[in-house]
Amino acid sequence: MRAELLLSPRCPHAEAAEEVVRRAFSDAGFQRQPLERVYVDDLDHAAGLGLHGSPTLRIDGRDVAPHDGLPISLDCRMYAQPDGTQAGVIPAETIFEHLRAREQEAAELKAARARPGLGELLARLSRALFLWASRRDSLERLSMALPFTRALVRRFVAAEDLEGALEVLRRLEATGLRWTVDILGESVTSNEMAEAAADRYIATLDALAGAGLEANVSLKLSQMGLGIDHDFCQRNMRRVVRRAAELGAFVRIDMEDHTVTDITLGIAREMHADYHDVGVVIQSYLRRSEADVEQLIREQIRVRLCKGAYDEPVEVAFQSRAEVDESFARLMERLMRDGRYPAIATHDHRLIEHAIEFAQQHGIDPTRYEFQMLYGVRRDVQERLVAQGYTVRVYVPYGTEWYPYYMRRLAERPANVLFVLRSLLPARRG
Ligand code: FDA
C-alpha cells in the first residue's frame, strides 16, 4: 500500500495531520506502514497532482477524504471532526472507514475472481452460521461475558444508555445526518420485559423531544411481546404510538423473519389507522414483497425498503444476491414513483446510484424520499450523500441487548470480524 501525505510547504497542520494518520494506521493494524510526505509548491504542481487543499491523505492514488468539488488549491483544508468542530487534520475515523472499505473491496474482488459461485456459496455459508449463532442463548451468554466483544460491538451500537445515545445523535446532527433510534432487545419472553421495553421507548421519545432532537424510533414487535400474545403486544404498541402522536414523532416497525410478516403488516395497518406517522419495513428478499408493496402504496403507509437480514427458506425468499438486488431495484422504483416518502435502506452503492438516477430521470425530487443506513456502516457514503443534498437517516441502536443485532451485522459482512481482530494483533505488514 502506498500512503502519501500531500502538503503545501507552509502547511501549519503538517505535524498534527501526520501524527493522526500514523496513529490511525497503527490502530488499524498497519504499524509499519510508511507514510511519504509530498510537498506541492505551486498551483501548476497542485493541478498536476489534483491537490484540493493541504493536508491531503492519498492511499494508492485515492484521496481518503473525497474533495467534493473543492477547487485546486495550496490553501489549508479543514475537515469536519466527529465532535462537530473543524480542524486541519483528517479525522482518524475517516481513515478507518477508508481502510475498511479497501479491505472490503479487496475481499469482494477476490471473491469475484474465485470460481463462479464459490464466493457466493461461502458468503451464504458464513451468513447462515452467524444467523444460527444469533439464535443460540449459550453463545449469547458466552460472548457477552468476553471482555473484548464490547470493543467490537461499539462499532455498531451507539451507546449502552440513553444519555450516551443522545450524545451520538448530537454528533450526527452536526454533520447533517438524521436518525431513527432503536432500543436493542427482541424476542422477549415475559410480560414484564415487554412492558419495560414499551416504557423505555416512551421515555426515549420524551427525552428526544425534551432535548429538541427529532423524535423518530424503530422497534420490533417481538420486543413488544408478540411472541407472548398478539393482543398484549398490540396494547404495548398502542401505548408507544399514542405518546408518539402526542409528540408528533415517527414510529417505524422493523420487520423480523417471515413467520411474522403478515402479523407485522396487520399491526402496522392498525397503528397507522390511529396515527398517520407509523411506517413499516419491506424486505426485497421475500418473494411476496411485490404484492405487499402494491398494497402499502394503495394505503399510503410509509415503507422502509431493505434487503432482509434473516435466514429464510427458499420457498419464501430469493437466495441469490442477484435476485435479491433485482427485486430491491424493482420495489424501489415502484415506491419512488407512487409510495409515500419511501426510505431506501441500503449501503449498496449500485442500488444507491440506481435510486439517484431513477429519480433524476423521472423528475422525482430528493425531498420525496430518503436514504437510510446503519450506524457504523459506510459513514463515508452517508456523509457524501448529505454533502450532495440528500436526506440520510442513520439507524442508531442503543442498549445492552446487542447480541442478535450484532450477529446479524456480522452475518452481512464477516470481513468485519477479520478487520477488527486484525487490529488487535501485532502488525505483520507494512
Ligand atoms: P449488502 O449486504 O449487499 O452490502 C452492500 C455494502 O454495504 C457492502 O459491500 C459493504 O460495503 C456494506 N455493508 C453492508 N452491511 C455491512 C455490515 N454489516 N458491516 C459493514 N459493511 C456493511 N433488515 C430486516 O430484515 N429488517 C429490518 O427491519 C431492517 N431494518 C434496517 C434498517 C436500516 C436503516 C438498514 C440500513 C438496514 C436494515 N435492515 C433490516 C438490514 C438489511 O436487511 C440488510 O441486511 C443490510 O442493510 C445489509 O444489506 P445492504 O443493503 O447494505 O447490502
Give whole-number Cα distances, 340 to 114, 265, 370, 390, in Å. Answer: 42, 16, 11, 17
191 contacts 232 by C-beta, under 8 angstroms: yes
Provide the pLDDT confidence category of residue 34 given band limits of 50, 70 and 90.
very high
Residues 91 and 217 in one domain: no
Q: Which helix (H) or strand (E) holds 343?
A: strand 343-345
Residues 182 and 311 in one domain: yes
Residues 76 and 180 in one domain: no
CA distance 403 to 133: 10
pLDDT score of 253 more than 60: yes
* End-to-end Cα distance, the chain: 8
Is 147 a domain residue? no
pLDDT score of 21 more than 70: yes
Provide the pLDDT confidence category of residue 407 given band limits of 50, 70 and 90.
confident
Residues 93 and 226 in one domain: no
CA distance 333 to 331: 5
Which is the closest atom of ligand 1 to the Cα of 410? 18
Beta carbons within 8 Å of 82's beta carbon, 6+ residues apart = 91, 93, 171
Provide the residue range defining the domain that includes 231: 157-401
Is 297 a domain residue? yes
Query: What's the 346 CA to ligand 1 centre distance in angstroms?
Result: 5
Is 169 a domain residue? yes
Amino acid making up residue 114: A
Is 356 a domain residue? yes
**What is the biggest distance separating any 2 CA atoms in the chain, rounded to whole angstroms?**
72
CATH code assigned at 286: 3.20.20.220
Taking alpha carbons only, the member of 59, 26, 78 closest to residue 67 is: 78
Is 44 a domain residue? yes
Residue nearest to atom 53 of ligand 1 (CA): 348
Q: Percent of the chain, pLDDT > 90?
A: 68
- Least confident residue range of 65-79, 127-141, 183-197: 127-141
Is 383 a domain residue? yes
Provide the pLDDT confidence category of residue 330 given band limits of 50, 70 and 90.
very high
Residues 319 and 185 in one domain: yes
Q: What is the mean pLDDT of the chain?
A: 90
Whole-prediction pTM value?
A: 0.73
Residues 237 and 346 in one domain: yes
CA quadruple 236, 304, 307, 101: dihedral sign: negative
Q: What is the pLDDT of residue 119?
A: 72
Beta carbons within 8 Å of 108's beta carbon, 6+ residues apart = none
Residues 95 and 161 in one domain: no
- Least confident residue range of 103-112, 198-207, 390-399: 103-112
Query: What's the 374 CA to ligand 1 centre distance in angstroms?
Result: 7
Please give the tally of structural domains in the chain: 2
DSSP string, 108-126: HHHHHHSSTTHHHHHHHHH
Q: What is the pLDDT of residue 244?
A: 98
Query: What's the 231 CA to ligand 1 centre distance in angstroms?
Result: 31
215 contacts 177 by C-beta, under 8 angstroms: no
Q: What is the pLDDT of residue 125?
A: 78
Q: What is the pLDDT of residue 429?
A: 45
224 contacts 237 by C-beta, under 8 angstroms: yes
Instruction: Work out whether strand 343-345 and strand 370-374 pair parallel, antiparallel, or are unpaired.
Output: parallel
Is 409 a domain residue? no
CA distance 258 to 414: 23
Binding-site residues, ligand 1, Cβ < 6 A? 104, 254-255, 281, 283, 304, 306-310, 345-348, 372-374, 377-378, 395, 409, 412-413, 416
CATH code assigned at 95: 3.40.30
Residues 95 and 179 in one domain: no
Instruction: Work out whether strand 178-183 and strand 216-219 pair parallel, antiparallel, or are unpaired.
Output: parallel
Residues 311 and 377 in one domain: yes
C-alpha angle 350-356-361 in degrees, rounded to nearest 5: 120
Is 210 a domain residue? yes
Residues 163 and 92 in one domain: no
The residue whose grid cell reads 422502509 is 304
Q: What does the pLDDT look like over 116-172, one tens digit per residue? A: 577 777 777 778 887 887 777 777 777 776 766 777 788 899 999 999 999 999 999
Residues 168 and 59 in one domain: no
Residues 388 and 241 in one domain: yes
